[in-house]
Amino acid sequence: MGSEARKRARERIKEQREKEKKAAQRNKTLLVVGAAAAVVLLVVGIGYVVLSSDRGDDYEGELAQQTLQDDGSVVMGDGSVVTGDEGAEAPVVEVYADYQCPACKQFEGLNGDTLKEMAAEGEATVQYHIVSIFAQQPAPTSSNSLRAAVAGRASADHGVFVEYNDVLFENQPNSNEEGYSIDELEGWFGDLGVTDEQQAAFGERLEQEDAVITEFTEEFVPALMSAAEEEIGQENLGTMVLPDLLAWGEDNGHDTSFLDGTYTGEIIDATGTAYTRYSGENAFRGTPSVYVNGELLDNDDAMTVRGLTDTVEAAGPGQVESEPADDTDDGGGAE
Amino acid sequence: MIDAAEESPAAPGPGRSRWETVQPWLTLACRVGLAAVLITAAVTKYPPALSVEAVEAYELFPPEIAELIGYTLPLFELALALLLLIGLATRYTGIVSALLMVAFIAGILSAMARGLSIDCGCFGGGGQVDPGETTYGISIARDLGFTALGAFIAIWPRSPFALDRALGLFR
């Protein structure tokens, strides 16, 4: 046994130690990574349970009475279910939505049933305003939005707006593709168990509106836009909402009389009214907009079940500002 | 990878280079900075209904998956932020954060390539916007910056105020 052998033995021991040290280090790393993964799972898991708890229950019960209003909106419930009193005792929740707007679809999916339940139990009077914030965009975004809007409006003539509203949002097309075809719209309407006369009236109304929408989105708006762009510049045009643009058009020879008496025109008017009706913090800026007694809700309140429920519970009685549409009107166009 | 962790405890005292003195503090700054970014991103995505909408706007996933991502992505961002702040598995958290940013960049690039006009939804918002209002370039540049932070942490995980140190990692 020379010093050579001893040296080799020492080296072997040293190597062995190195190996063990590395193995220990590897185990430590695995342990730490495992702990980190556990932290991630815990945070995501608990968070998911908490967030999911806000998803409301489906409402399968009887719907509150729905009443078409003279401005084309629909009021669900009258707030007098519980008290039996005439007039509104419940807060008024107003919803402005565009069928082509993805956030509106999210709102409906999340809180549509919350609203139905509150209306059925007399906790709220719900007013649906159909608008088209996309009406001045290029087709098919604009035409999809308007076709669905007039179909929603027409369904209100037959007392099935709330049901049809759900179907429209469920079937929201991609905004870059032609969707909400007349055939589809009629089919979904038929699925609601309507009579043959109702189906025929609905179909006829849609055919008429379709021609108006085509003229509006493919001729009127492009012509108006290019004229306005030339006269007042791209920059100013960008700040103009549809009613401003139409008013400018009226002054500059762009005749809107083809919209008179049509639901398309009514939707465009309703959109304009939304922009002018509120001011300051409550100003209407887009969809979905949810107001409780005229106060605009922020996203935390509108887009969570708890937020909306709490806000409505805390609100006092409200007043519906529109009047019910004339009963003798058989869908021939409220003004 | 383990080498870096082993080398670092060596060379205390005067032999220590300037880089070795400065780097742990730079990593700490990256950890805190990236955590702040992730927390902001997560919090602004609330409520989840809007976050789901932002995911759907990319048109990459079926509705169920989009909904799941909309709910869990902000939580995942929060979890990564937490790990960065406490300094647990620092190197690996850095890698995952950087990969997440790369995935975001890929998503934005794909939206760009398909001609979508959407807000990236990186910090809340999201959904369709006017074609003239897209900010893909800025979003990508920003995410590249965040990727760099994650990469820095992954390459030089040694930093003060980290749980890893107490556990004997990246000392």
Is the pLDDT reported for residue B136 higher than 80? yes
Q: Which residue has the higher pLDDT, A332 or B67?
A: B67
Q: Residue A203 maps to which CATH number?
A: 3.40.30.10
Residues A43 and A123 placed together within one structural domain of the fold: no
Q: Indicate if A138 and A16 belong to the same structural domain.
A: no
A18, A41, A44, A229: which to substitute to probe chain B, counting the most B Cβ within 10 Å? A44
* Structure tokens, A87: 């007039």
Residues A214 and A291 in one domain: yes
- What residues pair up with B119 in beta bridges, in sequence order? B127
**Is the domain of A44 the same as that of A71?**
no
Tell me the CB-side half-sphere exposure of residue B151, using CA atoms within 13 A: 9
Domain limits at A26? 1-53
Do A160 and A234 fall into the same domain?
yes
Task: Report if residue A152 sits inside a domain.
Answer: yes
Residues of A in contact with B48 (CB under 8 A): 51, 54
Do A138 and A159 lie in one domain? The reply is: yes
Q: Are the beta carbons of A51 and B75 separated by less than 8 Å?
A: yes
Asked if the structure places residue A229 within a domain, the reply is yes
**Domain tally, chain A:** 2
Contact A43 B82 (CB under 8 A): yes
Same domain, residue pair A182 and A281 = yes
Whether A39 sits inside 8 A of B53 (CB atoms) is no
Give the separation between CA B154 and CA B167, rounded to whole angstroms: 18
Report yes or no: A187 at the B interface, CB cutoff 8 Å.
no
pTM above 0.80, yes or no: yes
**Residues A116 and A153 grouped into a single domain:** yes
Q: Are residues A33 and A143 in the same domain?
A: no
Give the confidence band of B10 by pLDDT, cuts at 50, 70, 90. Answer: very low
Q: Identify from A303, A304, A306, A309 which residue to disrupt to test chain B contact, counting B C-beta atoms within 10 A and taking the largest count.
A: A303
What per-residue confidence (pLDDT) applies to A331? Answer: 44
In a domain, A330, yes or no: no
- What's the average model confidence in pLDDT over A289-294? 95
| pLDDT greater than 50 at residue B116 | yes
Shared domain check, A141 and A91 = yes
Is the domain of A135 the same as that of A18? no
Question: Do A154 and A35 belong to one domain?
Answer: no
Mean of all residue pLDDT scores within chain B: 90
Residue A171 Cα, gap to closest chain B Cα (Å): 12
Lowest mean pLDDT among A29-33, A135-139, B59-63: A135-139
Rounded to the nearest angstrom, the minimum Cα separation between A138 and chain B is: 11
Candidates A50, A64, A167; CA nearest to A115 is: A64
In whole angstroms, what is the distance from residue A175 CA to residue A41 CA? Answer: 36
How many A×B Cβ pairs under 8 Å? Answer: 89
Candidates A43, A107, A298, A299: best to mutate against B (most CBs of B within 10 A) is A43
Residue A334 belongs to some domain of the structure: no
Whether B56 and chain A come into contact, CB under 8 Å, resolves to yes
Q: Residue A334 — pLDDT band, cuts 50, 70, 90?
A: very low
Cα(B101)–Cα(B80) distance, integer angstroms: 12
Task: For residue A172, tell me if it sits in a domain.
Answer: yes
Cβ contact, residue pair A43, B79, below 8 Å: yes
Q: Does A102 touch chain B (CB under 8 A)?
A: yes
pLDDT at A166: 95
**B83 to chain A nearest CA, in Å?**
7
> Is residue A201 over pLDDT 60?
yes
pLDDT at A79 over 80: no
Give mean pLDDT, residues A156-166. 95
Give mean pLDDT, residues B42-62.
93
Q: Mention every residue, 6+ apart, whose C-beta is less than 8 A from residue A76.
A: A63, A64, A65, A66, A67, A115, A116, A119, A125, A126, A127, A128, A162
Average pLDDT over residues B91-96: 97
Q: Which residue, among B154, B155, B43, B31, has the nearest Cα to B84 in the 3D structure?
A: B31
Domain presence at residue A322: no
Q: What is the pLDDT of residue B6?
A: 43
